[in-house]
Amino acid sequence: MLTRDTLRYRRIPLTHGSGAMPALGFGTLIPDPLATAQATRTALEAGFRHFDCAERYRNEHAVGDAMKEAFSAGRIKREHVFVTTKLWNNNHRPERVRSAFEASRQRLQLDYVDCYLIHTPFAFRPGDEQDPRDGQGQVVYDPGVTLSETWSALEHLVDEGRCKSIGLSDVSLEKVQEIFEAARIKPAVVQVESHPYLPQWDLLNFCRRHGIVMLAFAALGHGMEPKLLENPVITTIAQRVHKTPAQVALAWAVQRGTALLTTSTKPRQIQENFEVSTLPEDAMQEIRDKIAERVRFNTVVETGVPGFIPQGR
Ligand SMILES: NC(=O)c1ccc[n+]([C@@H]2O[C@H](COP(=O)([O-])OP(=O)(O)OC[C@H]3O[C@@H](n4cnc5c(N)ncnc54)[C@H](OP(=O)(O)O)[C@@H]3O)[C@@H](O)[C@H]2O)c1
């Protein structure tokens, strides 16, 4: 008898929040709002029930439009979709957090947000400018606020029932530990770059021990060189299991216990990225043992400047 593979439907219950995060997530870092709305529609139709947004992407309204259409038509229920959005660096001052959150929630046209993340641990000059620069073109940071102070402001959003969980993004293991130890409401989710070239096993082990969901972005290597999807270990496994290289990389991520984000504007690829199924254990081990190359594609973790968003946008 054939048993149906359910990997694509895996949901990870939140220990430090309510609800569960579908392991397969769709990222909305798409520059054009029309393309964002269309990709969100396609992703919903393909089966994605987890969407990753951010005020910094400047397109929350487009994601919101597409979700609203699906909810209003009765095709999908709001409670079956997990929506994350993120506080940007210019809003780290505690007195700015609630209004930044509310603005995101309204653009998304949602009554509540499932998860609210601090996008990076770097505070920029408070104000409306997302990319404040000095006369020399250098980022203007804000030395007047700590990450713990911003975290406390997020805890209040949970207290008020505005979001169901909170978390961090673009952080090192040390920063996660620091916030985890000090927090009244623990981080439910930590979003970082992760793929076979950057597995972050130490961070994943910490997250597993403490009931935190590690959410991997750039799960396909962001299409950058060296191309993960052309790595011979990945392509050989793909041939062997009759899946595409993307499906191998995504299954690996889910099976090792992370949630993940991929992005595409191409319907065929969006569908492909949802149709993952379980890899045999020897393939999991091969990816772990045979891919020794280490590559970080996004330098946001070093500076708070978003590596995948062109400057000035
Ligand atoms: N926290 C942070 O600072 C941070 C930073 C970066 C990203 N993120 C989040 O993570 C999400 C995903 O990141 P990402 O864009 O780097 O993800 P990714 O899926 O690793 O990379 C996207 C690239 O892969 C290509 N692609 C997608 N599916 C494919 C497939 N099946 N076969 C071949 N190529 C494929 C896309 O091409 P096409 O466009 O041509 O389809 C695109 O060039 C973002 O949207 C955002 O939500 C967060």
Q: For 156-202, what is each residue's pLDDT tens digit?
A: 999 999 999 999 999 999 999 999 999 999 999 999 999 999 999 99
Going from the Cα of 77 to the center of ligand 1, the distance in angstroms, rounded, reads 26
Q: Whose CA is nearest to atom 46 of ligand 1?
A: 27
Q: What is the pLDDT of residue 255?
A: 98
Task: Compute the distance between CA of residue 93 and CA of residue 123 in angstroms, rounded to an integer.
Answer: 8
- Give the pLDDT confidence score for residue 156 in this predicted structure: 98
Counting as low any pLDDT under 50, the low residues of the chain are none
Q: Is the CB of 262 under 6 A from ligand 1?
A: yes
Exposure string (b/e) for 226-252, b if CB count within 10 Å is 16 or more? eebeebebbeebbeebebbbbbbbbbb
Distance from the CA of 195 to the center of ligand 1, in angstroms? 11
Find out whether the beta carbon of 165 lies less than 6 Å from any atom of ligand 1.
no
For the CA of 120, the closest atom of ligand 1 is 3
Per the CB < 8 A criterion, the answer to whether 209 and 177 are in contact is: no
Q: How far apart are CA 303 and CA 143, in angstroms?
A: 14
Q: Is the pTM of this model over 0.85?
A: yes
pLDDT of residue 2: 62
Q: Whose C-alpha lies nearest to ligand 1, atom 30?
A: 269
The answer to whether the CB of 169 is under 6 A from ligand 1 is yes
CA 222 to ligand 1 centroid distance, Å: 5
Cβ–ligand 1 distance for 84 under 6 Å, the answer no
